[in-house]
């Protein structure tokens, strides 16, 4: 195959059609080859998929117009430039400015407490007792929510997970919107507090961008805070959970890592490639293009199949093998281009430290049963529960 250059679909392709699936709202053109997905991430003709018009209409018809405004203008994943650029200008510097040593100390402190709690029991749930609490507490603090809000925030983000997975227009809309409304009111209250008493957190940056400089609207700052919180812990939770599972299912790799913890960076990259926390993402074509002799029209909806691209045999030798020594492991698990994951550095830090601590502290770590319970949905891949013995 002649590899497609990044951001350019004008090269020669194998004589293979783009896979098309029927879905609610029309056909989806699925790109599952590594080269195609990587190129699409960097190609500005592949715009972000906006919020569903049907969803926005349903919100307005049911009296949730203010929520429709937040969904329409405040969710980074669904915005294109210049709106996307405006929000990233506020969020990106904040995440880049996180002081590495201080962040690591805080992550380690939470890990130590979680491991201490685990040590008191004969068995534990990897997700509920370890993989979920760590990133949840870290992102909550970085955004600026008090620790007393954590339990309530878990309930709200669980209710709103379908928003990130494009399923919010389905059943239980009103129930989910009540959670959305309560979440929004809490964010608005805290942002007003940060205007009076600014701190080194994201809410303070957003408050300044709205009340002082006027760069962002109320809907934009509320939507950004809610999106970062909702997305900022889920993928890291999935990465830690499936990463530990992969090691347990491949004891040779687990022993190799335990013997040489300097391999942890490559191990985490292989975990992301092997079980991509984000399996697919959506795009809408801003102009007509041609891929492998197939014309795809403007406004067509495209699925970038991240999980399949990360197991493309054209790019990865023996892709079904879990290998923490895999060379040149340039996966697309964090996306790319202007929509690359804003928290990729944070996710790496948390996953490296969490997995290293768990396998070092508990050398006899094994599964406490044969069942593996996965989360529901098609965009994310992660564990819902995994019982382990120490």
- Mean pLDDT by groups of 10 residues along the chain of 390 residues: 37 58 85 95 91 75 74 79 91 86 93 95 94 94 92 80 52 72 90 94 95 91 87 90 98 97 97 96 93 88 95 96 96 93 92 97 92 86 94
Rounded to the nearest 5°, which phi and psi values hold at 302? -120, 140
> What's residue 384's pLDDT?
94
- State the number of CA atoms in the 13 A half-sphere of 209 facing the CB: 23
Query: Which CATH code for domain 19-389?
Result: 1.10.630.10
For the chain, what are the domain ranges? 19-389
Q: CA 181, CA 58: separation in Å to the nearest integer?
A: 15
> What's residue 315's pLDDT?
96
Q: CA 227, CA 72: separation in Å to the nearest integer?
A: 12
> What's residue 173's pLDDT?
66
Q: CA 169, CA 21: separation in Å to the nearest integer?
A: 20
> What's residue 346's pLDDT?
93
> What's residue 57's pLDDT?
80
Q: CA 43, CA 40: separation in Å to the nearest integer?
A: 5
Q: CA 54, CA 323: separation in Å to the nearest integer?
A: 44
């Amino acid at each position: 195959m002649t590899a497609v250059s990044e951001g350019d679909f004008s090269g020669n392709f194998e004589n293979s059609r783009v896979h098309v699936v029927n879905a609610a709202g029309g056909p989806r053109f699925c790109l599952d080859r590594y080269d195609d997905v990587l190129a699409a991430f960097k190609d500005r003709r592949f715009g972000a998929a906006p919020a569903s018009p049907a969803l926005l209409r349903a919100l307005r018809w049911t009296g949730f117009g203010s929520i429709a405004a937040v969904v329409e203008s405040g969710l980074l994943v669904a915005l294109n430039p210049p709106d996307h650029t405006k929000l990233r200008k506020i969020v990106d510097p904040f995440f880049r400015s996180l002081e590495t040593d201080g962040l690591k100390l805080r992550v380690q402190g939470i890990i130590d407490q979680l491991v201490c709690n685990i040590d008191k029991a004969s068995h534990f749930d990897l997700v509920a007792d370890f993989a979920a609490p760590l990133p949840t507490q870290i992102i909550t603090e970085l955004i600026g929510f008090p620790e007393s809000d954590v339990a309530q925030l878990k309930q709200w983000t669980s209710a709103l997970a379908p928003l990130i997975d494009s399923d919010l227009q389905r059943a239980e809309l009103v129930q989910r919107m009540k959670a959305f409304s309560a979440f929004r009111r809490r964010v608005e209250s805290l942002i007003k507090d940060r205007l009076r008493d600014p701190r080194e957190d994201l809410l303070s940056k957003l408050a300044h961008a709205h009340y002082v400089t006027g760069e962002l609207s109320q809907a934009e700052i509320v939507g950004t805070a809610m999106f970062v919180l909702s997305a900022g812990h889920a993928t890291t939770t999935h990465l830690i959970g499936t990463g530990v599972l992969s090691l347990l299912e491949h004891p040779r790799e687990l022993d190799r890592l335990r013997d040489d913890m300097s391999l942890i960076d490559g191990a985490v990259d292989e975990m992301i490639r092997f079980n991509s926390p984000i399996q697919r993402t959506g795009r809408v074509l801003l102009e007509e293009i041609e891929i492998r002799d197939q014309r795809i029209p403007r406004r067509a909806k495209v699925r970038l199949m991240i999980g399949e691209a990360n197991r493309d045999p054209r790019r990865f030798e023996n892709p079904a093998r879990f290998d923490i020594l895999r060379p040149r492991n340039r996966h697309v698990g964090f996306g790319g281009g202007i929509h690359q994951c804003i928290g990729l550095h944070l996710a790496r830090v948390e996953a490296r430290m969490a997995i290293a601590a768990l396998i070092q502290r508990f050398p006899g770590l094994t599964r406490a049963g044969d069942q593996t319970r996965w989360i529901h949905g098609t965009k994310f891949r992660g564990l819902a529960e995994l019982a382990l013995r120490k």
